[in-house]
Amino acid sequence: MEIDWKAYQTNGFFDELIDAKGNVRTHGKQLAEFFSKLSGDELKKARAVADLAIKEMGITFTVYNEGNMIDRAWPFDIIPRTIGKKEWQGIEVGLKQRVEALNLFIDDLYHDQKIIKDGVFPKGLLEKSVNFRQQCVGITPPNKIWAHICGSDLVRDGKGTMYVLEDNLRVPSGVSYMLENRSVMKRVFPELFEQVPILPVDDYPSQLFDMLAAMSPRPDDKPEVVVLTPGVFNSAYFEHCYLAQEMGCELVEGRDLVVEKDDCVYMRTITGLQRVDVIYRRIDDLFLDPEAFLPDSQLGVPGLMRAWSKGNVALVNAPGAGVADDKVVYAYVPEIIKYYLGEDAKIANVPTFKCLDPKECEHVIKNIDKLVIKPANESGGYGLLIGPKSTKKEQQETIAQIKADPRNWVAQPTLDLSTVPTLDGITPDGRHADLRPFILSSGKDTQITTGGLTRVAMTKGSLVVNSSQGGGSKDTWIVDEEAK
């Protein structure tokens, strides 16, 4: 049985492949045609090839909350998500603008705080921010860049408008899965890549390396760049390895590094201590340096902040960059862009109610069954309340938490997230998805991944796409509609 796209139901959602009239969108034409010619057996076979490739390549992520650590194969759907090149170019411009403004904002917060003095950003918010690091005040990292790597989550609403849902500025993860999804697809449907003009994604590791190397305090020498991982038990360990491997850098753990009396960072090698210039750290701020932050952290390196503040080593992302990624700050991003760049935001924010504002807070509590309630500083979907899908008891608990600390909560209308055709058995069925592109900033130039990581809620009707909560992913194609 072949796939009949006419029988595919969009159920009133905006679908990435099929429009409301049941026609295939231009950028998905070749894809839809290709799939419509595959028999059920061929689809099953393709899925098996993908599963095997994922198993053999050892593409995994670790799940915590099941009593113990489980290394799980990466859930993957073989129908790619397509975006037209034209639309994508517009998104790229918007993302650049956003990240540029966020970096100016962070640098301002750690120096003169003009945006507060000018009354655009409330002082009270900063005082209560759990990601503001006193230790970073007055420090100027190279090129004034704090958030070198940003992962912004994009979603579409029911009308197809693209919004930024959140910016991840601390240690955003997922880019390795974006790259691996592509290599799995190449194994599964090699012929598709001959037929469809798909833009390549695999330049990311070299761009990442160039950006990291450009941050070196000793630019004349060949810089020693390392990736700092919390270790094999971290849920993103696969990615840490992957990126170190693709860049040809050392993957280090805290115990491999030492800060010597000269306030420089060294790694312990077979030939003795060796100077480190740039650390792409995948450890949260608070674990970085037991001398500056949590004293009992086993993951970090004592003295690291000292070395960084003296400019002897670059930390990427800079400590304290997370101040701009909490969900309350998010609500101010349009104002932040306007303030620093004098421009309107090119990609819209999802309308956001700040519980800090008593009026908006009242509205949130009244409408809690219609809204998505988010704590300011959690990631991975933890602590989230989806109003329409919650019980009265859950709502009451969240209301109590909001009243206890209104600053820590924001709310957004439930978005009718767009859907993408996803195989359910051998039949495509709509599943909600988002998109996480990654933006690299060196201060001299900005680079954006081609597309990004498409995350899919694998369960019908579910809006939660996080891999830690049962989400899966797809290869993402930026398709050149004009190519012949």
Partner 1 sequence: MLSRVGETLYWVSRYIERAENVARLINVNNMLMMDLPKGVSTGWEPLVDIIGARKAYLETHTDFSEQKALRYLLVGKDNFSSILNSIISARESARTIRDVIPRDVWEEINSLYYYVKDNQNEGLSKRGRFTYLKTIIDAAHQIFGTLDATINHDLGYTFIRIGLMIERADMTSRILDIRSETLITSTEAKPYENIQWISLLRSLSAYQMYRQEMSVRVQRSDVIEFIMHSEVFPRSILFCLQELKVLIQPLPNASEINQSIDHAIDELKSEDVRELEKGYLHDYIDNIQVELAAIHNGLAELYFLKPAE
Residues that bind partner 1 (CB under 8 A): 55-58, 227, 231-232, 237-238, 240-242, 244-245, 249-253, 255-256, 267-272
Residue with tokens 């008593």: 358
- The residue among 123 and 255 lying less far from partner 1, judged by its C-beta, is 255
Q: Which residues of 16-49 are buried (b: 16+ CB within 10 A; e: fewer)?
A: bbbeeeeebbebbbbbbeebeebeeeebeebbee
The CB-side HSE value for 435 (13 A sphere, CA atoms) comes to 30
Angle between helices 237-247 and 204-214 (to 10 degrees): 80
Q: Which of 411, 326, 328 is nearest to 362 (CA)?
A: 411
- The residue among 89 and 245 lying less far from partner 1, judged by its C-beta, is 245
Cis peptide bond N-terminal to 377, omega within 30: no
How far is the C-alpha of 155 from the C-alpha of 432, rounded, in Å?
Answer: 10
| In the complex, minimum distance from the CB of residue 267 to partner 1, in angstroms, rounded to a whole number | 6
| In the complex, minimum distance from the CB of residue 278 to partner 1, in angstroms, rounded to a whole number | 16
Instruction: Take residue 332 and report the two structure tokens written for it.
Output: 């101010």
| In the complex, minimum distance from the CB of residue 246 to partner 1, in angstroms, rounded to a whole number | 8
| In the complex, minimum distance from the CB of residue 309 to partner 1, in angstroms, rounded to a whole number | 24
| In the complex, minimum distance from the CB of residue 272 to partner 1, in angstroms, rounded to a whole number | 7
- The residue among 241 and 426 lying less far from partner 1, judged by its C-beta, is 241
- The residue among 231 and 381 lying less far from partner 1, judged by its C-beta, is 231
| In the complex, minimum distance from the CB of residue 469 to partner 1, in angstroms, rounded to a whole number | 24
Q: Which of 333, 305, 282, 281 is nearest to 106 (CA)?
A: 333
| In the complex, minimum distance from the CB of residue 243 to partner 1, in angstroms, rounded to a whole number | 8
DSSP code string of 217-268? SSTTS---EEEE---TTSTTHHHHHHHHHHHTPEEE-GGGEEE-TTS-EEEE
Cα separations in angstroms, 354 against 88, 116, 271: 30, 17, 55
Instruction: Count the Cβ atoms, other than its own, within 10 Å of residue 59.
Output: 21
- The residue among 59 and 164 lying less far from partner 1, judged by its C-beta, is 59
| In the complex, minimum distance from the CB of residue 107 to partner 1, in angstroms, rounded to a whole number | 32
- The residue among 59 and 201 lying less far from partner 1, judged by its C-beta, is 59
The one-letter code for the residue type at 7 is A
| In the complex, minimum distance from the CB of residue 237 to partner 1, in angstroms, rounded to a whole number | 8
- The residue among 290 and 452 lying less far from partner 1, judged by its C-beta, is 290
- The residue among 62 and 401 lying less far from partner 1, judged by its C-beta, is 62
DSSP 121: S
How far is the C-alpha of 30 from the C-alpha of 353, rounded, in Å?
Answer: 41
Cα separations in angstroms, 160 against 12, 14, 157, 201: 12, 6, 5, 24
- The residue among 107 and 239 lying less far from partner 1, judged by its C-beta, is 239
C-beta separation of 161 from 348 below 8 A: yes
C-beta separation of 479 from 198 below 8 A: yes
DSSP 425: T
- The residue among 125 and 252 lying less far from partner 1, judged by its C-beta, is 252
66-72-75 Cα angle (round to 5): 115
| In the complex, minimum distance from the CB of residue 222 to partner 1, in angstroms, rounded to a whole number | 16
